[in-house]
Each structure stands twice: as structure tokens, then as C-alpha cells.
Structure 1
Amino acid sequence: MSGAPKASKPSWPTPPEGGWTADDLDRLPDLPPHTELIDGSLVFVGPQTLFHSRAVDFFTWQLQSLAPAEFEVVREFTIDIDRQNRPEPDVIVVSGEVVEDPEQTRCPAASVLLAVEVVAAESVSRDRETKPLKYARAGIPHYWRVENEKGLAVVHAVELEPTTGAYTSVGIFRERMKVAAPFPLDLDLTGIKPRRGPA
């Protein structure tokens, strides 16, 4: 007759006193892909939906096509905000000179012109409340939050107001997104859909 089963050790990392730091993301073994650091806590990403995948592809491609030559567009790449915050926006537009090392794993928030987050079911409060505050405090000039509204993309665009240091709304865009900043863009948001049309 065997004894009582041994309690299994948790398979996730136990945080040190004071929480994890931005540097820990590069040192911790076996972290799931796209792990973020928010307020010293590790945040794991849930399974990706088709809408999320298509929206990220759409904005990556469109921004790569339209961004001025001095900027780079990078998808799913972490940014250093401070010692306890290293979020990973879905897409960023960043100053080209800070992404020259193919081995780098992050870039400084001060180099980010635009952060784009496509809202997922588990990220609603982070994308609507937590991240905009942190991105604004880090001085990121533009933030776009992309929501799934019955299968159609709605973009909530905000811009940093220099005198207050807070974001102010530039607009809520459905079907078409036309803005002058961070650079001129005229996007057909209905393009976020399957390649095949209805039969």
C-alpha cells in the first residue's frame, strides 16, 4: 500500500521579494512566449483568437507600408518602461536606430512613437486602464486600442497631451481610420477579415 501522494511543486516561477524586474524576463527559464511584466508580476497570455491574429497582421503590414523610413515597425516586442514594467504591445512603431541588434529582446519606451494593443478577453482591463497609464507616464506619444465589435475592428486612438502628461482622445474609428499623426494614415479597417469572402 503506497503512502499519501506527495504534493507537487508549482511549475511556475516564485517571485522574489519586491517582485520580478525587467531584466528577469531575459533570465527566467521556460517562460511562455509573450510573457509581460506589469508592476513586478509576470503576466501570461491566453490563446490567440483569429480576430486578434488578423488585426495584429493588418496593423503590422499597414504601418510597415506607411511609416517614414526613420521608423521600424515591430510586432510583439517588449518595451522597457521601468524596473518593474516591461509590457509587450502587439505592434510598436519605434525609432529605427534602437532596433539594429538582431539579438535584442526589448527597446526603451522613450524610442516608441506608437503602441498598438489588440484587446483580448483576458486583457480588457490591462489594455483599457493599466497600460494606457503606464504608456502615458513613459512618454509614448500615441496609443491605439483595437477592440472586436461583433467581428469588426474599432480603434480607440489617443495622443499624449504634453501639458498634462495624459492621453486625450483623437477619435474612435470604425470602417475607416484617417489620421495625420503620428504620420498620415488612411486605413480601411474592413480589411481585418478572412481573405475569402462569403460563398
Structure 2
Amino acid sequence: MTAEPITGHSSRWPVPPQDGYTVDDLFTLPDLPPHTELLDGSLVFVSPQRDFHSTVIDLLTAGLRHSAPPELKARREMTVVLDRRNAPEPDVCVVRAEAVTGRELTRFEAADVVLAVEVVSPDSEARDRETKPHKYASAGIEHFWLVEMTGTDRHPVVRVYELDPVTKAYALTGIHHDRLKTGVPFPVDLDISAEALDTL
């Protein structure tokens, strides 16, 4: 479905369809900004990110790639299709290796994802803390990490969640400040201190 342009208006943005956008629209609309997400049929555009956001993504992606078993792969900023009207882009995700089918790949299905990670930004607090975790859990993604900047030295804190199969909601299993050490979805032992960020 392609939205009709606004007639007699200088905006270059398409008019949303009456029922909202779909995943097909997300991948076919021309000239969307990089990292556009689809949440509840609405396009979400990403603001310029802080250095903290970028370096934490780098740190976690490298650490997960180093720790992951061969059957899993860590990827950064890839679209994950949850359903027809929801296709967010986790900052980092861990997917099953067989889902990585080639260099032209643009998305993963929720069933391929074992971990989704969101690094909170000022413009995305509500989405990262409430909207996305709820949607990831509803889609059956077993593990979720939420990363925020804290302390006077502005270091990351990582909250680790695991999906409760009974409630279909995430349960907090740990809060990590200077070292991220967990056994799920596979053993990870990663320095996440301010000093570790400073080396990147």
C-alpha cells in the first residue's frame, strides 16, 4: 500500500493510510530516514544520537559477538518484524545463525531473535521502557536488556529481563553496573564501566 502525497503542500512526507502503515510500507516507501521504525502502524523517526548511545551499542555488540556460541549471531540496528503493524529496530539483537541468510538481508522475524537490547535515549524513553518491551514479550522474544546512563561518571547500567512463559511478560533477573555477568541467553562477562566506554 502506498500513501498518496499531499496535494498543494510542500511537505515531502506521505499521508498515512487510514488504518496505518504496514511492514510492507516500511520497506517500500521511498526516502525514509535511516533507522525508521514501525510501531502500531505509525512511522517513528530517530533523532540524532548521543555518543553514549553509539559507544554502548559498539561495546555490547562486540561483547556479545565474542561470547555467543556459533549457532547465534549478534547484530546492531536491524529491523525485527513482530507482526504486520510493528517492526521496531532494537539497538542490538542476538539472532539464530540460520536467520542470517545473506549480505542483502534487511530484517529478522521475531521467531529468529533470542535477545533484544534497547539503549535509552532522551527522545525514546517511553518507547524503550514501556512500548518495545511489551511488544517484544508479546512476540515471544525470550530475553530483553534495557541500558541507561547513570551515575556522576555517566556509565551504563544494564537491566536484564527474561520472559515469563506464564504471564507472557518480562521479569527482571539482574541489574548490572560495572560488569555485565549473566548466564542467559549464553554466558556473558563484559566490562561495562565508564572506563571501558572511554577506551572506545
What is the TM-score when the length of structure 1 is the normalising length? 0.92
Alignment of 1:38-187 (within 5 A): 38-150=39-151, 151-187=154-190
What is the aligned partner in structure 2 of residue 195 from structure 1? 199
Partners in 2 of 1:122 and 1:169 — Cα distance? Answer: 24
Change (3 A) 1:76 1:15: same
What is the aligned partner in structure 2 of residue 23 from structure 1? 24
**Identity across aligned pairs (percent)?**
53
Partners in 2 of 1:172 and 1:142 — Cα distance? Answer: 14
Q: Which range moves more in the overlay, 78-87 or 187-196? A: 187-196
Larger Rg: 1
Change (3 A) 1:41 1:192: farther
Say how many residue pairs are matched: 190
* Matching residue's letter, 1:91: V
* Matching residue's letter, 1:59: L
Following TM superposition, where does structure 1 have runs of at least 4 consecutive aligned residues deviating by more than 3 angstroms? none
Contact 2:59 2:197 in 1 (8 A): no
Give the alignment's Cα RMSD to 1 decimal.
1.2
What is the TM-score when the length of structure 2 is the normalising length? 0.92
Contact 1:95 1:111 in 2 (8 A): yes
Runs (5+) with no aligned partner, structure 2:
1-7
* Matching residue's letter, 2:171: T
Contact 1:19 1:41 in 2 (8 A): yes
Runs (5+) with no aligned partner, structure 1:
1-6
